[in-house]
């Protein structure tokens, strides 16, 4: 991104838009691991903590607990307004609450901020032993590492088995990893707009975004977190967001909304922007004020390495482990995680009878925008789960 992060409507971008020590806690609670977390790469990560939010009341035996997992730039704030501690409203707010698909009069809903994230969980912006920030020394994480940390959260909460694990996009990858790696702890599964393994094209798009951030002079090999406002890698992070956002939406939607029109008052022939450029600039500028570039690199790297079949005899053999009731849903206009990938999942998961399709003009982002359709899938998945009987 060349000009977009320095929006006149927003203050100078901070070195990191992630949560900092002393910020308002919002609705978050925290769990800290007692021992270093073993990583799939062979190392360990000490001092791990996960931020999480919860809604509803847990049954004495934990049988009504539902795990909801966020996507790349999401966080634990699934439901609720933008408020102190939470710069944006809940990303699935229409789904969580009394009488909603995830009825909090019945279900105990838990949403963690992913390991490697920047909204309260351990990530590159966190301080390590001695007080220095991890920065560029933060270790490579896989989706399995992230789920291992979430399993420790479940242990700390006294939840031996989730009634359901639900997620879309990166959250869907983690949901699938829960079902394959810990089937005894996954009562039911809903995967939206995700695949069993990252494809070459998905890795290519992710690698371009990582390169955009690392090419920013403000990146400083990942050690930028204490830089002055305006001196962090906000241009690279904004460019990464713009690249990603094009893949998140559909071509027909962009054509209908923007076409080839120029931004009002600007002439693309003389340094101005097209309307679609202004749209991308707007979303990029918002992200750099609420997200961390190091977390973006860490989480995108984990998504690039996603493969439930690694070390398990391949995808088909690995998915046979997941025998719980399962729903797999595709977004019909998704060009980043095309429906053929979810069709493969639905065919290979023993507990999935057929592929469900969410109709949306919004592309991959349809798993966030089509809350009525997603809510119907949640209600289809959950009625057979044990009633907490409170």
Helices and strands: H and E segment counts in the chain: 11, 10
* C-alpha distance across the termini of the chain, in Å: 52
| Angle CA 190–68–346, to nearest 5 | 15
3-state secondary structure 182-201: CHHHECCEEEECCCCECCHH
Neighbouring residues of 61: CB distance < 8 A, sequence distance ≥ 6:
none
Query: Tokens 């007692």 identify what position?
Result: 34
Strand, coil or helix: what is 67?
strand
For the question of residue 333 being annotated catalytic, the response is no
Which residue out of 145, 307, 334, 365 is catalytically annotated?
334
Task: Please name which of 197, 102, 183 lies closest in space to residue 147, comparing C-alpha atoms.
Answer: 183
| Angle CA 147–313–200, to nearest 5 | 70
Length of the chain: 390
For the question of residue 169 being annotated catalytic, the response is yes
* b (16+ CB within 10 A) / e for 12-44: ebbbbbbbeeeeeebbbbebebeeebebeeeee
Helices within the chain (DSSP H only):
143-157, 170-181, 200-214, 234-248, 251-257, 275-288, 293-304, 315-319, 339-348, 366-369, 371-381
Count of CB atoms situated within 10 Å of the CB of 193: 31
222, HSE (Cβ side, Cα atoms, 13 Å): 20
CA distance 377 to 371: 10
Which residue out of 63, 362, 364, 365 is catalytically annotated?
364
Which residue out of 169, 242, 333, 360 is catalytically annotated?
169
The CA distances from residue 162 to 50, 97, 108, 184, 332, in Å, are: 18, 18, 10, 9, 29
* b (16+ CB within 10 A) / e for 59-97: beebbbbbbbbbbbbbbbbbbbeeeebbbeebbbeebbb
Catalytic residue positions? 169, 334, 364
């Amino acid at each position: 991104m060349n000009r977009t992060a320095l929006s006149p409507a927003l203050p100078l971008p901070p070195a990191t838009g992630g949560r900092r020590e002393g910020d308002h806690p919002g609705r978050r609670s925290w769990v800290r691991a007692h021992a270093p977390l073993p990583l799939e790469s062979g190392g360990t990560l000490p001092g791990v903590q996960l931020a999480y939010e919860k809604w509803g009341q847990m049954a004495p035996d934990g049988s009504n607990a539902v795990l909801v997992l966020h996507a790349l730039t999401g966080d634990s704030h699934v439901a609720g307004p933008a408020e102190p501690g939470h710069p944006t409203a809940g990303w699935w707010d229409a789904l969580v609450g009394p009488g909603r698909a995830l009825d909090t009069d019945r279900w105990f809903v838990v949403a963690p901020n992913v390991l490697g994230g920047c909204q309260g969980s351990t990530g590159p912006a966190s301080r390590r032993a001695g007080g220095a920030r991890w920065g560029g020394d933060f270790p490579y994480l896989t989706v399995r590492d992230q789920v291992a940390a979430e399993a420790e959260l479940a242990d700390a909460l006294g939840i031996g088995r989730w009634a359901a694990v639900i997620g879309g996009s990166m959250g869907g990858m983690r949901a699938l990893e829960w079902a394959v790696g810990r089937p005894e702890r996954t009562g039911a599964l809903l995967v939206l707009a995700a695949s069993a393994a990252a494809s070459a094209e998905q890795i290519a798009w992710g690698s371009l975004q990582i390169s955009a951030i690392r090419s920013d002079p403000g990146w400083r090999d990942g050690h930028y977190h204490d830089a002055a406002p305006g001196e962090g890698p906000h241009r690279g992070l904004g460019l990464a967001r713009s690249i990603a956002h094009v893949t998140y939406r559909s071509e027909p939607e962009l054509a209908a909304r923007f076409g080839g029109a120029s931004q009002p008052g600007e002439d693309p022939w003389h340094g101005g922007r097209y309307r679609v450029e202004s749209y991308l600039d707007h979303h990029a500028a918002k992200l750099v004020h609420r997200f961390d570039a190091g977390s973006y690199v860490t989480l995108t790297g984990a998504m690039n390495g996603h493969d439930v079949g690694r070390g398990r005899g391949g995808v088909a053999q690995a998915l046979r482990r997941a025998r719980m009731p399962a729903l797999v849903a595709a977004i019909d206009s998704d060009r980043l995680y095309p429906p053929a990938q979810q069709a493969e999942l639905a065919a290979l998961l023993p507990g999935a009878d057929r592929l469900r399709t969410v109709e949306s003009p919004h592309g991959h982002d349809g798993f966030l925008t089509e809350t009525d359709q997603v809510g119907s899938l949640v209600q289809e998945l959950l009625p057979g789960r044990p009633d907490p009987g409170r």
